[in-house]
Amino acid sequence: MTVIIDGKACAKKVIEELRKKTKNLDKKPSLAVILANNDPSSRIYVASKERQCLDLGFNSCVYRFDENIKQQDLIKLIHELNENDDVNGILVQLPLYKHLNEQEIIELINPKKDVDGFHPINVGKLNCNLEPWAICCTPKGIIKLLKEYNINLVGKNVVVIGRSNIVGKPTATLLTNENATVTLAHSKTKDLKEITKNADIIISATGKAKLIKANMVKKDAIVIDVGISKQISGKLVGDVDFENVKNVASYITPVPGGVGPMTIACLMENTYELFKLQNQKA
């Protein structure tokens, strides 16, 4: 029988662990979030990050900007947050307004406060299989989900679809570090079906609704759906044709309720880990 992977339950476990670890602390972990775009989805994500901080008793501060914000203003703010000992994690919600230079902003964040793990130093550490100060939240959440369900990754044939710096590439790197055999597919890949048909595990992160059909999936494969697309009706769907693929897969994540909750749980975990790092006694 197909197992529907319960991302909400797994995320709750991570959150409750954090609650135990942090409830008696004198000082609480603290997250600063910068929102400089007018993308409605970003507003929803930022609001849920704020809610989760509140629920855990973490401090959170959201800096919201309209499109008159200048690159220099953001640079100044990042410097201030880097210097502020009361801020443990800095998150820049992407994308930024088109006139802003995202990469310059990400590279200015102190890597020890880079809660999203996007700074080149953290990306480089991940690539070298050294311990980054923080690992990108969605990829980290995917690995945690697989481990929670005791899915063995060693030697498994895994295809990751999507090569973004925030999901696809770091997911492929983490899986490689876990000794899986990884293929990274993308929009220019020829004959995706030929690749997915041979995969023990498929992880799709494209944002193309129902890209992964049942005839692209090997019997009893494990299917992780990262994609989120909004249909005209307002309903959120993933990259996977869930209703049909679930009859072929052995494990599958739903959308919503799969990878999404793990992303926020891992963000809270990263905030706590950076807090610990910055409060270590010499």
Output 164 or 278, the one with its CB closest to ligand NAD. Answer: 164
Strand partners, 222: 201, 251
The answer to whether 137 touches 267, Cβ cutoff 8 Å, is yes
Residue in 28, 49, 113, 246 annotated catalytic: 49
CA–CA separation, 197 vs 215, rounded Å? 8
Tell me, yes or no, if 103 is annotated catalytic: no
Q: Least Å distance between CB 216 and ligand NAD?
A: 11
Please give the distance of CA 212 from its chain centroid, rounded to a whole number. 20
Residue in 28, 52, 113, 116 annotated catalytic: 116
Nearest to 142 by CA among 104, 168, 179: 168
Q: Least Å distance between CB 184 and ligand NAD?
A: 9
> Edge-to-edge strand order for the sheet containing 59-64?
59-64, 30-35, 89-93
Q: Least Å distance between CB 139 and ligand NAD?
A: 9
Residue in 28, 52, 93, 156 annotated catalytic: 93
Output 248 or 259, the one with its CB closest to ligand NAD. Answer: 259
Residue with tokens 């970003």: 42
Tell me, yes or no, if 193 is annotated catalytic: no
CA–CA separation, 102 vs 197, rounded Å? 37
Tell me, yes or no, if 200 is annotated catalytic: no
146 to each of 20, 45, 135, 149, how far by Cα in Å? Answer: 23, 23, 16, 5
Output 112 or 208, the one with its CB closest to ligand NAD. Answer: 208
Q: Least Å distance between CB 207 and ligand NAD?
A: 3
Q: Which residues are at the interface with ligand NAD (CB under 6 A)?
A: 138, 161-164, 166-168, 185-187, 189, 192, 205-208, 211, 226-229, 259-260, 263
The token duo for 37 is 């775009």
Output 161 or 221, the one with its CB closest to ligand NAD. Answer: 161
Residues forming the active site: 49, 93, 116
